[in-house]
Structure 1
Amino acid sequence: MNSKNILVTGVGAIIGYGIVKSLKASNVKNINIIGMDVFNDAVGRHWCDSFVKCVYANSPEYPSFIENIIEDKKIDLIIPGIEQDVDALHLMILRGELSEKLVAINSSGALKVFRNKLRTSEIQEELGLDFIEYIDSASAKSSQDVIDKCGIPCIYKPYTSYAGKGLVLLDNKNKISELLEEKKGIFQRYINSDKEFTVSIFGVGDGNYLNPIAFERKLGPDGATHKAKVTDYLPFKEVIDSLVKYTKPVGPTNFQFILDLDKLKYLLLEVNPRISSSTSIRQKFGVNESQMCLEYYLFSRIPVVQSMKYGYAERYIDEVVTYDSDNI
């Protein structure tokens, strides 16, 4: 069998090189991994079979760059490793510049709902699920409207953001009023709890999914999971079942929950319709999202049910060292 050429984007970031390492650990061995990143010194290049420096995803040259690398490297599948590439590649698909068969990307329905914090909250309410009280900055008439709905302190989230970017804890009316004027996000009730959870599923496009795995987690300052303990998935199943049935996601989809200690309920914080920073941890506990991407997107088959292990993971800082040849 000829090697399959897999392009992984953003290999300098924790998701990108997590995908690369998970591909290396998969049972699909006849693959050639091409990594790309905007930085020449992206650490993930060390684990790829080859590496290409790319342009930024918001650059006007990005579409032609992607088209050229597909042709030059005979790419069989692109697995995006950063949020910006997901958005840019999805836009290329919508414009007819790229075949969706070439990209491990979520369904348009899931992307439309879950990439927007307001729509995610609205859908929960429409489906009769427990949700965190919220108000749209575009509909709130005053800071008092926000306080009446969400209390104080409250949280502000941009409509589209990830890894906690743009999130603001608001504890007075003046700060709320400033953000109200921008009309670029939602306000939510603040839940003071250190009990956060991330649940990954692999959607198969018909309202069903495979291989759920849940972590209780601690976030690091970069917004990525730094400590994770495998935990029971069942407390989150009802919410996930309802949202999956409604949005019909395809591929890795990650649901973030928080335990409201006052109400003793698990409430949905957000959904990331993509591979997340916990992907390499999931692989070590038996759920390899990258392998499932190869099975589903590349070989057009339903991924196998994987055997999950239980345990606890901690991330730490390490180094990759390249010596100058004249020092050896």
Structure 2
Amino acid sequence: MNETVGGIGEFGLIEAVTKGYRQGADVLVGPGDDAAVVAVPDGRMVITTDLLIEGRHFRQDWSSAYDVGRKAAAQNLSDLAAMGARPTSLVVGLGVPAALASEWVHELARGLQDEGEPLGVSIVGGDMVQSEKIVVSVTAFGSLEGREPVLRSGARPGDEVAVAGRLGWAEAGYAVLTRGFRSPRAVVEAHRRPLPPYEQGPIAAIAGASAMCDVSDGLLSDLGHIATASQVVIDVRSGALAIPEPLEAVAAATGLDALSFVLTGGDDNALVATFEPADVPPGWTVIGSVAEGNDDRPPGTVTVDGEPYAGATGHAHFRS
């Protein structure tokens, strides 16, 4: 397929992309009208949105359009899981250069669909415009199914901190790619396409998680959101964190610290939550504890083995 986006046109491309989308039971009106209609039996809808910008969040020489689609969907669906919600639908905004091959958009659409379909997620609409760089904006919707949302502000002194999913893999992949290499393949693929533990969000909510967050900016950084919102102190035990062999290999080859990948690396979209000790469900690993603040460690503080962490704790937008 040699057609460009400009050649096929906005509406022709939208029609070609959306005609293969299958719609789930939550969708009452799908693509084709001015807006979609999605059922909300719970009476509440959980909503999140994210942007991916070419050159900042992905590079075409590192990631295929299919990878970008999977990643764009995953970042949003993971946020829903972190609230304890079941994802139901997505809308997609896309800005692309007119000269971009239309096949790139088709591959992106397949990636979005393949990430969401196993979860019963439908793509119900969106928009497409011309832009200088590729910009992908995804908004995701989810249902709480009668449960209360799990917020960042509910952690309590005495709770344990636990994680589900992988940590540090995407960061190790980024370290490899920035040095011009493509191996270990496992970490490169982790950078291109995260594997969030979607099912663990509702499981944690049902088990009684007091606070939860998805790990998109780095474990310490995202735990900082919980600590600040809950006005508590969180301590991470480094010895409880698994450091898989591929991360050790990358650290040895690059001179970086494997533990720092796990503590500060983002984009794996793991889940981190706090529980009463007896409530931690299977599939979660306890890595730390929650305590009250004091003069030495004021509320909002996150430490590692009882000490402040030296260095950046994760990704921050607009950091110079």
Identify which of structures 1 and 2 has the higher relative contact order when contacts are C-alpha pairs closer than 8 Å and 6+ apart: 2
Bucket of the pairwise TM-score, normalised by the shorter protein: under 0.3
* TM-score calculated relative to the size of structure 1: 0.23
